[in-house]
Structure 1
Amino acid sequence: MATFHIEGGKKLKGTLEPQGAKNEALQIICATLLSPEPITITNIPEIRDVLKLIELLGELGVKTERLAKGSYRFQADNINLDYLQSERFSQQAISLRGSIMIVGPLLARFGEAYIPQPGGDKIGRRRLDTHFVGLQKLGAEFKFDAEKHFYSVKAQKLSGAYMLLDEASVTGTANILMAAVLAEGTTTIYNAACEPYLQQLSRMLVSMGAKISGIGSNLLNIEGVSSLKGCEHRILPDMIEVGSFIGLAAMTGSEITIPNAGIEHLGIIPDSFKRLGIKMEIIGDDIHIPAQDEYEIETFIDGSIMTIADAPWPGLTPDLLSIFLVVATQAKGSVLIHQKMFESRLFFVDKLIDMGAQIILCDPHRATVIGLNKKVQLRGTTMTSPDIRAGVALLIAALSAQGNSKISNIEQIDRGYEQIDSRLNAIGAAIERIN
């Protein structure tokens, strides 16, 4: 297990270019299973979760070729379905949440798919009902082996159907969409997730010959086709990294420029940071955050305390709430952070309280943060990264803190952020990776 040793209190200055979007990459790579023809994907983030998925597809029979950094060619023309019954597959899939999205493509193209209950961040209950109920509506037979925690779906033929999803699940929508593009007839998905990741997946599928309308809305109509061809696709910049870098600049009082930030796909993320008092300038597709000695949280019009809450797109992504919470600890004013989706995602605040932050954990979903206005620095301490986003939030806190900090279990951070230590060191941070 590796550890970060961080010397806090340093001002950073420079450029941080965001990697390709992790959440999009996991969907796009799974979609390569839908065609036997070559598919080239660029701007792939070479992070642990993505590389593990590429390895899994390779053992499934997908030909994978690394053309250059972040650029890969996939060809799924000789799939070995027997691999899905192997112990090796079970071990790989259990450790990777994104593996669930191979189910829709395999079912659509080969009539069957198997998956163990996937892992991922321990941030609360993450049910899969939406995925399998949607696939059942398309005509699949679903079975769950409760003893082995293994899911299976089979269908001789998928047929289009109308469905109203019980939740706007991003991965659930992706799985159903990838199955529906090869189903016979028309499928209507209402209450579909419409995040930029889904929009990108839809556009890729259209370039492969799929017929999808309603892209960017919560109502998708899919007219099934008999087969899909190859394509080329470029992944968007990672909005979570962009938000993380904005928060880093504010907490450390640093001047940072984020080039090629994918401004048109960020939704309300920049405005949400502005509600915390963080100044930024948008120049073309770049974001410049000036060094700020302090930033003040807005109140609502009636003077009541500001609430920052997650919501389905175009609302604020839940993946950034950990960043908003840690940034608020050094703001002027108070804010209520409301994490509606996951009931364990705020439990990392005890580490921030140990560092001197003033936070009241109201319940598993809500925390009130009383900002210190940078009058009292956080103190360095020893911590453990519980998940990807909390891990980066703790790293930001450590970089702003007085003294030295240690963060263990940084493999969690590596799952979502590519070479984050060397990239931050290049602009003035002091982070040492100890293996």
Structure 2
Amino acid sequence: MANLIVHGGKPLSGTITPSGNKNAVLPILCATLLTDEPVSLSNVPAITDIEKLVTFFRELGSRIDWDREAKTMRLDHSDLGSDFDPQTLPQGMRSAVLLFAPLLQRFKEVHLDSNPKGCALGIRELDPHLEILSHLGTKVAHNGELKLKIEEKFQGASHWADYMSVTTTETFLMAAATADGVSTLTNAASEPHVQDLCRFLQSMGAKIEGVGTSVLTVTGVDSLAGAEATISSDHHEVATFLALGAITGGDVWITDSGPEHFALINRSFAKLGVEISYDGETAICGPKQSLKIQQPFTSNLLPKIEAAPWPYFPVDLLPPMVALATQAEGVMHFWNKVYEGGFAWLPELVKFGAHAVVSDPHRIVVFGQRPMRPAVVEAPYIIRAAVALYMTAASIEGRSIVKNADPIRRAHPHFAENLRKLGAEIEWDE
């Protein structure tokens, strides 16, 4: 594991271009297995999860040309074998569950070694995926080994999900795209990256209605064709670098920022005294932000940022906002409505001198502008929490170390390079 060495206390200023959205490119890559025709992608980020998927595809027999410098990739799955070894599935990559539907569509049967905690993919909730696949005609057996099987193809069906799960919605879309008949998912996720997968499948010939809503209707087609697509900018990375500009008192400009997704995110920035402006597609966090927490009209309540599935404020962006709140004047209440472990990294933030009270597993209260000091902290295996610890270190004069910061590379292929462009003193200690 690598550590980040941070020399903080310097305003970060300049212009950067965000990476392609990790959460869009991974399901899109999995969806390319649904066609034998070539697929060309641009703005592909060089992140570790993609490396794992590409290795897996090549072991299946796929031909892949990946120009990392140009950020382009061409995939051709027309020569895949008749079966695959489940041990070759990408390890340590939670989104590998997105391979279930396309592998079933190709091979009709998938066997995975499993244990009481899940399967070879690691610990994650598989039940919603298995429920969706079962509704669409998959036979599911679990007796020391997880066995999934379909006959000739998936069967159209309607399903009302327990909750808005991004990867479960993406599993539904890939299975329903070539199913026999019409399929409907109620309580579907609608995040920008889910919309990106919908549009990619549509470019391949899929018939999908309700893109961007909580009800998706898919009319199955016999086959999907090749396509060309550009991976959209990562709105998480855009928001992260805007927050970095604000917390260090810099002047940061982000090109290709996708402002259509930022109305609520920018209102949340404003609650922390940060105004985001735009020049076309370029987002701007200018200098001299007030960093003063806005008081609500309902004066007996704390100012609050609450996160839940889209179109709520994104849960993944809570950690950068928490870090920003440590430097803002006032008190802010944060509410993570999804993950009970979402604030487990707070003891590391406190090592910098931050004042935060954990109300319960889902809610914390941050008291801003307390005396802060450099520190050595341990990053959890949570991308944005590791980033938030870096943000805090960058705002404090002196040398800090964020240990085990590798998770950042899962989403930000050029994190340190982009920061240096903004004037940061940062280095990886491998």
TM-score, with normalisation over the residues of structure 1?
0.93
The 3-state SS of whatever aligns with 1:257 is strand
CA distance, structure 1, for counterparts of residue 316 and residue 188 of structure 2: 19
Q: Secondary structure at the match of 2:36?
A: coil
Q: CA deviation at 1:223?
A: 0.8
Is 1:384 the equivalent of 2:384?
A: no
> 1:266 and 1:108, CA in 2 relative to 1: closer, same or farther beyond 3 A?
farther
Q: CA deviation at 1:267?
A: 4.8
CA–CA distance in structure 1, aligned partners of residues 121 and 35 of structure 2? 27
1:363 and 2:364 equivalent?
no
Partner SS for 2:413: coil
Q: CA deviation at 1:392?
A: 0.5
Determine if contact 1:377/1:400 at 8 Å carries over to the other structure.
no
Paired position in structure 2 for 1:319: 316
Cα offset, 1:36, TM superposition = 0.3
One of 229, 248, 253 as aligned partner of 1:233: 229
Once the two structures are superposed, the pairs formed by residues 74-85 of structure 1 within 5 Å of their partners are: 74-80=75-81, 82-85=83-86
Q: Which of the residues 187, 195, 211 maps onto 2:191?
A: 195
Give the conservation status (yes or no) of the 8 Å contact 2:351–2:377. no
Shift of 1:118: 6.1
**Runs (5+) with no aligned partner, structure 2:** 114-118
Amino acid paired to 1:26: L
**2:129 aligned to which of 128, 131, 143:** 131
Aligned counterparts of 1:81 and 1:378: Cα–Cα separation in 2: 59
Corresponding residue for residue 345 of structure 2? 348
Measured at CA, do residues 327 and 118 of structure 1 come closer, stay the same or move farther in structure 2, by a change above 3 Å? farther
1:282, distance to aligned residue in structure 2 (A): 1.3
Q: Which moved more, 1:308-317 or 1:67-76?
A: 67-76
Superposition deviation, residue 313 in structure 1:
1.1
Secondary structure (helix, strand or coil) at the match of 1:14 reads strand
- Alpha-carbon offset, residue 65 of structure 1: 0.6
Q: Residue 108 of structure 1: CA displacement?
A: 2.4
- Give how far 1:166 is off: 1.1
What's 2:398 paired with? 403
Residue 330 of structure 2 is matched in structure 1 by 333
Q: Residue 85 of structure 2 aligns to a residue in which SS?
A: helix
Tell me, in whole angstroms, the C-alpha distance in 2 between the residues paired with 1:9 and 1:118: 44
Cα deviations across residues 363-386 of structure 1 (Å, max 9, x unaligned)?
2211100111xxx55211111211
Corresponding residue of 2:49? 49
After TM superposition, give the deviation of residue 153 of structure 1 in Å. Answer: 1.4
What is the aligned-residue identity percentage? Answer: 36
**Cα contact 1:5–1:406 (8 A) shared by 2:** yes
1:64 and 1:115, CA in 2 relative to 1: closer, same or farther beyond 3 A? farther
Alpha-carbon separation, structure 2, partners of 1:5 and 1:182? 49
Alignment equivalent of 2:273, drawn from 255, 273, 277: 277
**Cα distance in 2 for residues equivalent to 1:63 and 1:234:** 20
For 1:18-29, list aligned pairs within 5 A: 18-29=18-29
In structure 1, C-alpha distance between the alignment counterparts of 2:297 and 2:82, rounded to whole Å: 58
Q: Name the amino acid aligned to 1:175.
A: T
Q: Where do residues 131-280 of structure 1 align in structure 2 (5 Å cutoff)?
A: 131-145=129-143, 147=144, 151-156=146-151, 157-280=153-276
> 1 CA distance for matches of 2:394 and 2:82?
47
CA offset at residue 113 of structure 1? Answer: 2.9
Match of 2:116 in 1: none
Q: State which of 299, 306, 310 in structure 2 corresponds to 1:309.
A: 306
Bigger Cα displacement from structure 2, 35-44 vs 409-418: 409-418
Q: In structure 2, what residue type is equivalent to 1:385?
A: A
Provide the alpha-carbon RMSD of the alignment.
1.7
- Residue 126 of structure 1: how far off its partner (Å): 4.3
Once the two structures are superposed, what CA deviation does each residue of 1:51-71 show, in whole Å capped at 9, x if it has no partner?
222222222222111145211
Change over 3 Å in CA distance of 1:322–1:38 after alignment to 2: same
Distance 2:312 2:289 in 1: 29
User: How many angstroms does 1:293 deviate by?
Assistant: 5.5
1:377–1:401 Cα contact (<8 Å) kept: no
Q: How far off is 1:199 after superposition?
A: 1.1
CA distance in 2, matches of 1:370, 1:425: 30
- Return closer, same or farther for 1:74/1:237 CA change in 2, 3 Å cut-off: same
Secondary structure of the structure 2 residue equivalent to 1:28: helix
The alpha-carbon deviation at position 388 of structure 1 amounts to 1.0
Please name the residue that 1:431 is paired with.
426
Alpha-carbon distance between aligned partners in 2 of 1:18 and 1:315, rounded to the nearest angstrom: 22
Distance change >3 Å, CA 204–CA 155, structure 1 → 2:
same
1:94 offset after TM fit, Å? 3.0
Task: Out of 66-75 and 383-392, give the one that drifted further.
Answer: 66-75
Whole-angstrom distance in 1 between the partners of 2:311 and 2:401: 36
TM-score when scaled to structure 2?
0.94
Question: Aligned residues, how many?
Answer: 421
Change in 2 beyond 3 A, CA 1:383/1:371: same
State yes or no: 1:112 paired with 2:109: yes
When residues 80 and 178 of structure 1 are mapped into structure 2, their CA distance, relative to the original with a 3 A threshold, is: same
Q: 1:77 is aligned with what amino acid?
A: S
